[in-house]
A and B are shown apart, each in its own frame.
Chain A
């Protein structure tokens, strides 16, 4: 999200999922994403596009179903994405496949891209990524082919790396170079991990931007807020969530308010977060369950779940949609918005909202992308895709048509850096993590549904048959995985979905707390952790 905001002026998905359903793209470039499991209905649309004739390129170290049915599967070494994309850009330059008119008219900084990618020759890139020179050529030609609509789809497999933002900049460079952004069936489409990541960002739940991505340096905007809210607003950027723990340990942060998160379970190198929480002077947790984090809190506030309150979510394709109350929350639990209002009042600041609709109206008045949206429209017209600049505007299915949000799009060349903590002699294998289709995040919701548990009752570690043979691992046998930070015990399943030397584990299961192993190296721009790889050793328990 942070990268696309720099290159294009907006971090959101440029196109919409119905593009796929309608068979608009000629080529789909899927990288670091397995929508079959993480975004099943989006995955279905991709299948429909393929049935309608779209060609598919999959860049993934895992042999997913999409990889297997792809026209081209680039089975790269985990963490070598930037090298791969730079390699493709190199070929596109060399074979003169780029869209000169588009680049000339709509972008800047092409020269630097050419310089940086000069050294990423197919041979060099093949050596880093393990992808053959022929496949690199074929992929570049297929993606770039002039006159064809090519759509890039990426997921957390691209972002959850130390070099996550570089990865995204690299694909952005490639899409811009080929003129594939701002057209139906094209674009660059990040798939959001959770239902309302897009909305949480839009609403300014970020340490460095106000609602609508307004920067903290804009005096005009601060004037508006200060007038409306009647307080002096803080101007110094805050601490990103992933840096909060170090700041607690350093004594800078002493109290935290955790709303609907479970960092004890979710944070990379979870032991680090626990140590920080133990040092806190005060922690309040607001959630629907007594999570591992809540168990350590000083105050726990019981919240309503999505079916017990009104509101809106904004999905990956920037579509703002209603959430409606079906029945009352259990016991004394309250909707989160009511809790904020009451707490705020206790602290001497009145937040008087009759309903979520009122809150939405205030948010829309401060968020230009939402200016033309209100509950009445959402109820009558269904979801609306932002930007919706005024009340008569029908919404925007495709971003950057004719002009980028940023004005001219920016090429930001990136260099390949090896992922942190690659396998070595002692920790000779690689661990990667992801989702199972039937579960979600840390399972607080899905694991409390018996029918889902019937489908997927336990975490199983995917081990490649060659590794299984070498280590003596049999189907459903117990193994212990150790990293430099911790260990977990898990049962194995033999599968060709993973590469030789790599183990994959879904992260939904509290009994297999996989984030005890992962590294908390952060991306330098977005501060995302490298969930997707760490070095481990495997012991067979039988």
Chain B
């Protein structure tokens, strides 16, 4: 047969007659984007596969352009890209969906919230925790104290109340603590790189940096000035918020990865940056936090029994559990202030008053803590300024000035103005103030490296840019030390970012490009979301977390909030609407839009939810709002089971009035779903969108019938996300049946055997391998000695591997000494 020679992007290839340019390019592994192409079926309508052919004025559709002798094709010219981009923009305008869920978008840590909740729904708690820890190594603490940026944007609010994301995060963490008392061991580290990193400061930022660098294979040492690791988690949050047992487990999970720990080693006192450099550390990260209480400028601040709240809290968290006085005043509306006040209540102080300057709705502390403090009997005096502290007869007095809202200024904002006649004096045995925290830097000698560190006007460590590099070469900084006091999750993000940059620098690898922020959304914020999206859902109240009774909580430092029960967690996870697209990683529309620089802000996406989602099929859902009418689902169906049509087209020739159905020829293979170029067709049980860490593909052979289909298991952690097939591999060439594509939940089923069992007193009881195998060996040997080898028979397994069948028959023949070996070929 004669062949045709052509050139594509400068590479020559010979192809059979009637080969299209698209197919020829594929042979060269050159990807030309296309949505609609299905050999012999498509009508070349998507117009994305454009290429330039020498001698032709306009770009041509490569799927219908037949290769000719001597043809010269270019697949990636500016002109081609511009036209494709234009066509992509037209398609994008008809696509209505969310790429990522709003919770995921609004979490500073970008935790795959929808994903971990899906694991909770499937009762896969180890995997849920592992998934959270891809982005947040402190799920125990964050699950207790996070301000919950995610819950604000939860679409469930349009029905009833947001999902209790934070409570679920804590539940997952606590479940693992309970079930793996020896430590959570599901985190894998890369092979050792031989690079050494010093992390100075064992608070949330430092722990995060250490975690991610250790995972990347580096040798990490954590230096901590205090006796124990934890920083603000240990010394800024009393036990009724984070129990020590929980915090210790959380930290152990990180240090057990092989992080060296040097506690009681204070930077400036025990070592300097120069010392670390001399010890051969390839990088240093400063994460010393901001735990020094700022002073406030009023008379009497130096009196005895007037202290920074943070110092008092440190003593409490260090074990001080009693205070003899009866009345206390706490100045400030921060979390530290409220934490101090609630600690005082637990220490037996009867009257605790918080004086703060803002109005109650603007209080700086978490709303929840504020509410709990009120319930615990703490008195709040809002909009009040302390003026003077003085002592008389062993009692402290504090004069305050009450404020009120003044006339609005031109800007519309009202300022606080003093009210006349409402000045009063409060009495106390102790006054604690929280005026914010700052970095505590020791003084360093003039020629030290430390002197080269630049500071911000507010006394924080100055970093150059996103990389968080300091002015000193090889030294980075993160967390509160560069931002001032922030939430734990923000410290985690800062620590994680530093780890990424340090890893790139010391390993010489290029930093992974940041994930594209390209995102289709059905509403950036809750108020943009059309309520029709949540129509049809039955309201189901958010689960409430059990708490300690008031009498109990006021006499001890036990954790107030007891955590979700398994039933709470399962019900709460069931409320998730799974807003994010489960086709996130396979969506061609998204992939091509990103690669062609489509900017949705400029060109826009569809804004209407026109079609109800069709969930009538047992295995997949059809959301026509996402459909771009490439028709690949229908054209790829080998059973003629799908109907997809439209009533007409709009002025851009886009189809309108779509309708979709399937008939009784459907064999549930769901090849249509894997053919979908967007997330219009999605599998019902694929619950975990694939974001953050990449997936692995494991090529293997189907364990069901004798057809021997080849398939790729899409694996993340220990989870099969879904099963797909390679279109080029014999014998199934991309096809799988319903079993091949779906029937894998048995692998993680709780019924799996996990320990050898031995019968004792009539019951099967768990045993060690050694005992179980010794017993088998002993009994088989006895039978053979007494009754001959032929008194033992073996059944082999036609579902196990060749190697195992070979060994089974070898065991029976060579070890036992009988040909009594057979398998179920005929059963």
Contact = CB atoms under 8 A, between A and B. Distances in A.
Interface string B497-534: 00000000000000000000000000000000000000
B667 A241 contact: no
Nearest to B685: A451
Nearest to B819: A238
Interface in A190-215: 191-208, 210-211
A41 B710 contact: no
Contact of B776 (A299, A327, A526): A299
Interface string A346-370: 1101010000100110110000000
A48 B733 CA distance: 13
B811 interface: yes
Contact of A315 (B701, B746, B789, B811): B701
B707 A41 contact: yes
Interface in B718-734: 718, 720, 729-733
Interface in B686-718: 696, 698-710, 713, 715, 717-718
A337 B804 contact: yes
Nearest to A199: B802
A347 B811 CA distance: 10
Interface stretch (A142-150, A260-268, A417-425, A469-477): A260-268
A199 B811 CA distance: 17
B789 A234 contact: yes
Given A244-B793, A313-B701, A529-B827, A452 B739 contact: yes
B815 A349 contact: yes
A335 B804 CA distance: 9
Contacts of B369: none
B752 interface: yes
Interface stretch (A113-121, A406-414, A436-444, A486-494): A436-444
B706 A328 contact: no
B58 interface: no
Interface stretch (B73-81, B230-238, B322-330, B753-761): B753-761
Contact of A363 (B702, B803, B816, B826): B803
A272 B728 CA distance: 48
Contacts of B720: 307, 326
B800 interface: yes
A383 interface: yes
Contacts of A234: 789-790, 813, 817-819
A282 B823 contact: no
B827 A298 contact: no
B685 A444 contact: no
B509 to A, nearest CB: 26
Nearest to B618: A454
A260 B800 contact: yes
B787 interface: yes
B801 A263 contact: no
B337 to A, nearest CB: 48
B814 interface: yes
Contact of B729 (A232, A382, A526): A382
Contacts of A323: 700-701, 703, 801
A312 B802 CA distance: 6
Nearest to B122: A450
Contacts of B754: 302, 330-333
B646 interface: no
Contacts of B718: 327-328
A259 interface: yes
A119 B380 CA distance: 108
B755 A331 contact: yes
Interface string A3-32: 000000000000011100100000000000
B305 interface: no
Contacts of B4: none
Contacts of A328: 718
Given A229-B810, A302-B755, A313 B823 contact: no
A542 to B, nearest CB: 28
Contacts of B809: 203-206, 210-211
A64 to B, nearest CB: 13
A272 B804 CA distance: 28
B808 interface: yes
Contacts of A255: 779-780, 783, 791-793
Contacts of A160: 826
A204 B806 contact: yes
Contacts of A349: 814-815
B811 A238 contact: no
B475 to A, nearest CB: 39
B700 A322 contact: yes
A326 B764 contact: no
Give the bracket for the number of chain B residues in contact with chain A: 35 or more
Contacts of A241: 795, 822-824, 826-827
Contacts of A331: 752-755
A445 B816 CA distance: 31
A236 B820 CA distance: 9
B751 interface: yes
Interface string A236-279: 11111110100100001111111111010011000000000000
A263 B827 CA distance: 9
A67 B60 CA distance: 46
Contact of B699 (A44, A322, A450): A322
A196 B798 contact: yes
Interface in B254-270: none
Contacts of A62: none
A517 to B, nearest CB: 16
Interface string A314-351: 11110111111111101111111101111110110101
B83 interface: no
Contact of A195 (B705, B717, B803, B821): B705
Contacts of A196: 706, 798-802, 805
A196 B796 CA distance: 11
Contact of B752 (A201, A330, A351, A452): A330
Interface stretch (B309-317, B400-408, B588-596, B766-774): B766-774
Interface stretch (A130-138, A283-291, A460-468): A283-291
Contacts of A322: 699-701
A498 interface: no
Interface string A286-307: 0111100011011111110111
Nearest to A522: B826
A316 B814 contact: no
Contacts of B158: none
B616 to A, nearest CB: 12
A347 B807 contact: no
Contacts of B735: 41, 44
Contacts of B545: none
B700 A306 contact: yes
A451 B684 contact: yes
A282 B745 CA distance: 32
A195 B746 contact: no
A302 B753 contact: yes
18 contacts: A194-B824, A195-B706, A239-B820, A252-B790, A253-B820, A256-B792, A294-B753, A297-B757, A299-B756, A306-B801, A307-B720, A311-B803, A312-B801, A316-B707, A330-B748, A331-B752, A342-B769, A451-B684
Interface of A: 1, 16-18, 21, 36, 38-42, 44, 47-48, 159-160, 191-208, 210-211, 216, 229, 231-242, 244, 247, 252-261, 263, 266-267, 281-282, 284, 287-290, 294-295, 297-303, 305-309, 311-317, 319-328, 330-337, 339-344, 346-347, 349, 351, 356, 359-360, 362-363, 382-383, 437-440, 444-446, 448-452, 454-455, 523, 526-529
Interface of B: 618-619, 638-639, 667-669, 684-685, 696, 698-710, 713, 715, 717-718, 720, 729-733, 735-740, 742-749, 751-759, 764, 769, 772-777, 779-781, 783, 787, 789-827
Which 8 pairs between the two chains have the least Cβ-Cβ distance?
Answer: A315-B708, A331-B754, A311-B801, A260-B797, A192-B706, A238-B819, A40-B737, A302-B753
Given A18-B730, A340-B810, A383-B730, 5 more contacts: A207-B819, A263-B795, A282-B779, A322-B699, A333-B753
